[in-house]
């Protein structure tokens, strides 16, 4: 009856029916038998009092986890050999004590609470090993907001149109995989990815981006962040230099800050990262991270001349280039330019791509294309850390590509994003007229828009905090910069939700900001 884990959503409460219900009932029975075997206890207190004290103690000690469904009254009464009315009486007292709550159709649920029991020992830092320097470094940046809200989709940057994802096609492929699965497929999987998917990605890159690579050079990962963490771990020692665009992704800043890299921020001009800044400051970085197809967050494309300058600089300084092509399908749909990887004649460029921004983030699958001489260390690093991306996801994605579902989805994606971008910008300009918020023009198609704050009375941090409290997710433009930013403003995702939701959220957003003045 209780062999499977079950989750029940009731309002905002997730109720957990744990698969150890028989163990819980047995534990209650054992404790109860100990109590009634005590002769003094047996004659001094009635059974319902003994059971009540027992259950309240277990709940207070968190021996019965919060949000757990209590044993049904009939089941518990049968196990303890008491009447059901006795258990009902016990549960009524627990309700009065606010230790449990009653939800129609779900039963009695343990209420969330902190344990009131005193700690057995005080924490003494000097008796434990200290965190490593890198551990402390990540702890220091851990509280800074670097990602989208986990609950709200409007207006989270980086989210594709979630409502157009072909769920039925994906489910059909997933069902087919599990229907035809062999037991041997449930064992360990190659760390760099299944061969057929790597072949299809290699072919896809060749046809769509003129990027020539062999399947062995394709490394399947969970996304760009895993790629960057792996590359930073392999190629950087603490204090080694890495050159980043200024501004750039906050989470890219966070990863290399956490790894104790010496970050050199290179400003932008109309052609992209200013390589001249690195030359003038005599920077010799181990790694250079760029987003040439569509610079994040400013949305500009690196010129061909600047790409060649960057390759020459990297060659002269023995640097590796990380080319993060995070939204290629959108950015290059009408204005394609050769990738740095394609232009590189010395095989010093590592190319990053992801499906998380064209399908949906929860899929957690991306890829690296690495020079042949780096395949072995990266595969070994994967084996000793993340092991591999779930084979089931890889197989389904591979079928998604082979059946041309991906190709059709990308066509729909580009049309939808372009349409929603136009609608968002028109609606924003109308709704926020004369409010001191302006849309920053961008040439490239992307999943987000930039809103600059002109009015001095508006504080960027206060705006973001207030909007978040009202279930509207936006990112900080200043958080992308090093030092003094050129702009203060918001990064707003315009693609993830329908036009009706966009308009309603923008109206609500205006009301919220009016109350800030």
Cis omega before residue 478 (within 30°)? Answer: no
Helix H or strand E encompassing 56? helix 47-60
**pTM given for the model:** 0.81
Contacts of 421 by beta carbon, 8 Å cutoff, 6+ apart: 445, 446, 449, 494, 495
The answer to whether the CB of 351 falls within 8 A of the CB of 343 is no
Cα 233 to Cα 237: distance, rounded to the nearest angstrom: 8
DSSP state of 348: -
Range with the poorest average pLDDT among 19-33, 205-219, 480-494 = 19-33
- In 10 A of CB 129, how many CB atoms? 5
SS3 track for 455-497? CCCCCHHHHHHHHHHCCCCCEECHHHCCCCCCCCEEEEECCCC
**What is the CATH architecture assignment of 167-404?**
3-Layer(aba) Sandwich (3.40)
Angle between helices 47-60 and 84-96 (to 10 degrees): 50
- Please report how many Cα atoms fall inside a 13 Å half-sphere around the Cα of residue 87, on the Cβ side: 20
Highest mean pLDDT range out of 30-34, 109-113, 369-373?
A: 369-373
pLDDT in tens, 266-280: 999 999 999 999 999
Chain CA centroid to CA 160, Å = 14
Cα 231 to Cα 322: distance, rounded to the nearest angstrom: 9
Chain CA centroid to CA 477, Å = 19
Range with the poorest average pLDDT among 31-45, 291-305, 439-453 = 31-45
pLDDT in tens, 126-164: 777 888 999 888 888 875 555 554 556 789 899 999 999
Task: Tell me which fold the domain 6-110 belongs to.
Answer: Arc Repressor Mutant, subunit A (1.10.10)
Q: Where are the domains of the chain?
A: 6-110, 167-404, 408-514
Contacts of 60 by beta carbon, 8 Å cutoff, 6+ apart: 99, 113, 115, 116, 117
CATH ID of 408-514, from 3.10.20.30, 3.90.1150.10, 3.30.56.10, 3.30.420.40: 3.90.1150.10
């Amino acid at each position: 009856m209780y062999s499977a884990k079950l989750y029940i959503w009731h309002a905002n409460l997730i109720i957990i029916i744990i698969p150890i219900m028989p163990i819980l009932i047995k534990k209650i029975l054992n404790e109860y038998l100990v109590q009634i075997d005590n002769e003094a206890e047996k004659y001094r207190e009635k059974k319902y009092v003994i059971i009540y004290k027992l259950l309240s103690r277990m709940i207070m000690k968190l021996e019965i986890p919060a949000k757990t469904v209590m044993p049904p009254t009939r089941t518990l009464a049968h196990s303890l050999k008491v009447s059901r009315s006795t258990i009902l009486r016990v549960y009524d007292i627990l309700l009065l004590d606010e230790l449990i709550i009653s939800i129609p159709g779900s039963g009695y649920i343990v209420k969330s609470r902190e344990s009131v029991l005193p700690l057995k020992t005080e924490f003494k830092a000097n008796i434990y090993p200290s965190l490593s320097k890198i551990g402390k470094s990540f702890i220091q940046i851990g509280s800074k907001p670097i990602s989208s809200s986990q609950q709200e989709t409007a207006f989270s940057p980086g989210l594709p149109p979630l409502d157009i994802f072909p769920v039925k096609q994906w489910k059909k492929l997933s069902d087919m995989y599990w229907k035809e699965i062999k037991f041997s497929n449930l064992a360990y999987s190659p760390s760099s990815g299944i061969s057929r998917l790597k072949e299809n990605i290699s072919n896809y890159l060749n046809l769509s981006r003129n990027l020539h690579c062999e399947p062995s050079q394709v490394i399947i990962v969970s996304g760009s962040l895993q790629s960057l963490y792996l590359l930073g771990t392999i190629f950087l020692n603490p204090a080694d230099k890495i050159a980043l665009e200024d501004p750039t992704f906050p989470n890219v800043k966070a990863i290399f800050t956490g790894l104790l890299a010496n970050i050199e921020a290179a400003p932008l001009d109309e052609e992209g990262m200013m390589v001249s800044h690195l030359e003038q400051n005599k920077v010799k970085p181990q790694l250079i991270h760029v987003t040439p197809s569509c610079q994040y967050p400013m949305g500009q494309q690196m010129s061909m001349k600047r790409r060649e300058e960057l390759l020459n600089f990297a060659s002269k300084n023995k640097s590796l280039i990380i080319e993060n092509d995070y939204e290629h399908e959108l950015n290059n749909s009408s204005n394609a330019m050769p990738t740095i990887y394609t232009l590189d004649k010395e095989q010093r460029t590592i190319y990053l791509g992801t499906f998380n921004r064209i399908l949906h983030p929860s899929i957690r699958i991306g890829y690296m294309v690495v020079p042949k001489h780096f395949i072995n260390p990266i595969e070994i690093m994967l084996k000793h850390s993340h092991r591999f991306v779930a084979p089931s996801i890889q197989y389904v994605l591979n079928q998604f590509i082979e059946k041309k579902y991906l190709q059709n989805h990308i066509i729909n994606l580009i049309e939808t994003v372009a349409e929603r971008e136009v609608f968002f910008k028109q609606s924003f300009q109308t709704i926020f007229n004369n409010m001191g918020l302006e849309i920053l023009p961008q040439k490239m198609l992307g999943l987000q828009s930039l809103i600059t704050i002109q009015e001095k009375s508006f504080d960027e941090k206060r705006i973001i905090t207030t909007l978040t409290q009202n279930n509207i997710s936006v990112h900080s433009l200043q958080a992308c910069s090093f030092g003094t930013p050129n702009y203060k403003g918001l990064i707003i995702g315009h693609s993830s939700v329908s036009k009706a939701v966009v308009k309603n959220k923008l109206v609500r957003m205006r009301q919220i900001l009016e109350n800030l003045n």
